[in-house]
Every structure is written in C-alpha cells, then in structure tokens.
Amino acid sequence: MELFTDLVSKINSFVWGPYFLIALLCGTGLYFTIRLKFVQIFKFKDGWNRLFGSFSLHGEAAGKHGMSSFQAVATAVAAQVGTGNLVGASTAIIMGGPGAIFWMWCAAFLGMATNFAEICLAQVYRTKDNSGHTIGGPAFYISRGLGGKMGKILAAFFALAIILALGCMGNMVQANSISDGFAGAFGVPQWLMGVILAIICAVVFIGGVKTIARVAEKVVPLMAILYVFVGLVIMCVNFKEIPGVISIIFEAAFDPSAAWGGAVGASIATAMRYGIARGLFSNEAGMGSTPHAHAAAQVKHPVEQGVLGIMSVFVDTFVVLNITVFVVLSSNVIDPGNIHALGGITLVQEAFSSHLLGHTLGYSFVAICLFFFAFTTIIGWYYFAEINVRYLFGPKAVKILQILVVVFVFMGSLLKIKLVWELSDLFNGLMVIPNLIAVLILSPIVVKLLKDYNDKKDYDVKDYIRYGKQNSL
C-alpha cells in the first residue's frame, strides 16, 4: 500500500506541478478575469444582493423544472463547504507551509471568474432528461458546445472522471474525515461510523434531487454561520496573534523556510501545489462540479446565476476556510520541532479546543460541524455524479451508482488518510482538463452574455447557442 501511495503521490507532483494544472487553472482564471473585466470585483455587490435577497430556509421543493436560485447555490455550497475547508486547510498548512494559504487565496480569487464562466455555460447548454427534469453541467456544454467527435470524447471523459473523482474517491475523503473526527471526539469506532454514514446516505440518495435540495438549503447556512461565529470568537481571543499569522502567510509564500524556523521543509512549488490543489478541492472552481447545481436554477438570465457562483467561491474560501486557517495558526498548536505530530481533522480539533472551548467541547464541536459539512458534500457530489451517470449510461445505471457510492463511503471511513487524499487529488485533476478546454473554447459566449446583460438586452438561449457555433475559439 505504501508503494502505491508513493506512486500516486509522484504522479500528482507532475499533474499538480507548475507546468501543468497550476498553470492551467491559474491561467484560465487570469484569462477570464481580464476578458470579463474583473467580474469577481465589479459583480460582487450584485452577487451579494442576490444571495441574501433569495435567502430562505423554507423554499418550495425542487421539481422537474429545477431548483430555486437559492436552492441551487445552497446545493453548490453544500458540495463546496466540506472536508476541504477543515482538513484540506490543515493539510495544506502542514504539507506546504503557511505560504500555501496565500496561493490558495490567489487561486480562489481567479477561480471566481472561472466559476462564473462555467455557470453561465451550464445555464446556456442545459437541457431536460427523459423524465422532464432540468439538468446541465460540463458534459452537456462540452458535447453540445464543441460538437463533433471531439466534443463527445471530451464529454465522456469528463463524465467518467467526475463519477470517479467525486462519487467515489472524493466521497471517501469526506467519510474518512467524519469517522476520524468522531473517533477523536466520541471514541466511536471508525467502522461503526462508516456503517451509520452509509445507511444515512442511502436513505437520502433514494429521495432524489428534491431531498438533496431541501437538506442543502436548511443545513448549510445554519452550520456555516455557527462555525464562522465560533471561529471568530476564538480569533478575537487570539487577536494578538492575527498580525503575525497574516505576516507569516505572505512571507512563507515566497520563502517557505521562514515558517517555524525552517521546519516545514517546503519549496515555493510545494506551497503552490498544496495551496492550489487543496483550494480546488475546497471551492471546486474550474473543476466543473458545481455548475451541475447552478444549471438547474430557474433564473431569467445566466449571469444572474453566474454572480452567485462568485459568491459561493467567496463564502467557501474567504470566509469558511479562512476561519479554519486563522484559528489553527493563531492557536499555536503546531509544534515547530514536529510539525507532523498533529494532522487532518485532529489539528483543527486541537486548535478549537486550545483557547476557548476546552478539549471535550472543542473536539465535539468540530466533529459535529465536520459531519454536517462533509455529509452535505457527499450528497451534493452524489447528485453531480448521478447526472453524469445518466448522461453516460442512462437512468437504469443510477441504482448501481447508489450502491457504489454507499460502499465507497464505508470504505473511506477505514482507509489511511494520505492515500485517500492523493487519489482524490489525482482524479480531481483529471476532471479539470476537459472542463477547462471547453470553457476556454466557449469563452466568447460568456463574454457576450455579460456584455448583453450589462446592456440590459433580452436573453434568448437559441441566439447564444447559434453564436457559440459561429464564434467559439
């Protein structure tokens, strides 16, 4: 197993290296930031107003015609806010040093523009399945937007990659962190937590998109608010440490040896790799996952949902994930002499316990938050995988997917965390490639959508599909 883990890690070192996915992700984000004239800044207020203007815990059930705009963004955020915000942040700090957080921020800022573009395209190229439900996502804008043999091949590759990346490997990560957190907080055996989690997931999966949307719109806002509130209280207690935390993040981004007396042993490339990889696992910008939820939103214009994509990345990385980062780094729970002494969810639990909540309450609070964050991510990722199973194999294959995901959730509860994370990074990377190829080729549509929206022109989806055929790169 160690040999296999090392092999996957070496592959990831190339895949997530500065000359491949890091360049592709950041380059795409920079491209859209410039072409869309810093849409993540100038449409931030619009996104903020739409997010809180449509806030509701008692929306109508999602149906054939799709979800409400808030249900869609809640489902997307449910998938985004998960293990990556807690365990991913702590892993990035340990493996890449505090400087990894700087690169995580950079990737998230650029990723806001990429996510905006993905969502706009998902709205344009969405369709209805055999039962009349509104569905969409990268497989649809890749196949319909690019067309021809290349479009079909890339769409099939993406669909298969997301089924493996999120439905299988990604959900193993979520389950692994939940079982690890409950073992540390309550002494629950990991196998038992795996069984409980698998049963709960099976019940929700059977309920379908209606259940997923309702769970997401109620659980995500409440748990995020509670986690952020407690984190802010701890930061206020540790307020004298905050300037030093900010300083070390920026300093270590370009000189990783500056962290903890050089104990971190990371290079700038390592900091970038773990910062961007863990950032992607957290906010999913460019990965092509969250557009599946946004495609089902019933809005008058794609840009109206696109600006909510900007907000979902902002909430995920600059709010929830940053709470973890600042609580961990300001609590001084990392031993410079042995930075690997604590890792994963245990590091976060120790940080929340150290200055305010006490050992028992701190460990329990983080375990419960992680359960809800990771659980909603599991059901969100299952939903994304289901759409692609339907795309590739038809509705009859959904039952097989449900069984597989439940099995992987149980297996993930038992495996060693390093292997699980390495596999997840690999398959996440495979998803990015076909998605960003299509998003870049179809970028003229996104540019026109934003311009026409700013000019208050009426939206007709047929016009944009026709425009895409004539003007794609």
Tens of pLDDT, residues 140-163: 999 999 989 999 999 999 999 999
pLDDT for residue 232: 93
CA-CA distance, 348 to 327, in Å (whole number)?
A: 8
- The answer on pLDDT for 64 being more than 50 is no
Residue the block writes with tokens 């600059």: 318
Query: What pLDDT, in 10s, does the model give residues 99-136?
Result: 999 999 999 999 999 999 999 999 999 998 777 778 99
pLDDT (0 to 100) of residue 18: 77
pLDDT at position 321 over 50: yes
Q: What is the pLDDT of residues 322-380, one digit of tens each?
A: 999 999 999 888 876 666 666 678 888 888 888 666 777 888 888 888 888 888 888 88
pLDDT number for residue 217: 61
Position 433 pLDDT exceeds 60: yes
Triad 139, 144, 149: Cα angle to 5°: 85
Using the predicted structure, report yes or no on whether residue 62 has a pLDDT greater than 50.
no
| AA identity, residue 335 | D
Q: What Å distances lie between residue 464 and 39, 125, 128, 147, 300, CA to CA? A: 20, 9, 18, 15, 14
- The pLDDT tens digits for 36-57 are 999 999 999 999 998 877 555 4
d(CA 41, CA 290) in angstroms, rounded, equals: 20
Packing angle of the helix pair 461-471, 99-124 (nearest 10 deg):
110
Residue 208, pLDDT > 70, answer no
Q: Which amino acid, 25?
A: L
Q: What angle do CA 344, 428, 43 make, to 5 degrees?
A: 95
In the chain, count H helices and then E strands. Answer: 23, 2
For residue 372, the Cα-to-chain-centroid distance in whole angstroms is 15
pLDDT at 263: 58
In the three-class reduction of DSSP (H, G, I as helix; E, B as strand; rest coil), residue 35 is classed as: helix
Q: E strands within 116-178?
A: 127-128, 134-135
Predicted model pTM: 0.89
Contact 275, 99 (CB under 8 A): yes
pLDDT at residue 367, rounded to an integer: 87
5: tokens are: 């883990």
Give the CA distances from residue 204 to residues 69, 156, 191, 254, 383, in Å, rounded to whole numbers and listed in that order.
Answer: 21, 27, 20, 45, 10
The whole-number pLDDT of residue 160 equals: 94
pLDDT of residue 402: 92
| DSSP helix/strand/coil, 65 | coil
Q: What is the pLDDT of residue 173?
A: 84
- How would residue 242 be classed by pLDDT, with cut points 50, 70 and 90? very high
- Say how far apart CA 291 and CA 76 lie, in whole Å: 8
Nearest to 223 by CA among 366, 88, 357: 366
Q: Which helix (H) or strand (E) holds 437?
A: helix 417-441
Mean pLDDT (the chain, rounded):
86
CB within 8 A of 221, min separation 6: which ones? 55, 57, 74
Average pLDDT over residues 255-273: 73
Q: Which domains does the chain have, with CATH numbers?
A: 1-470 (1.20.1740)
Does residue 277 sit in helix, strand or coil?
helix
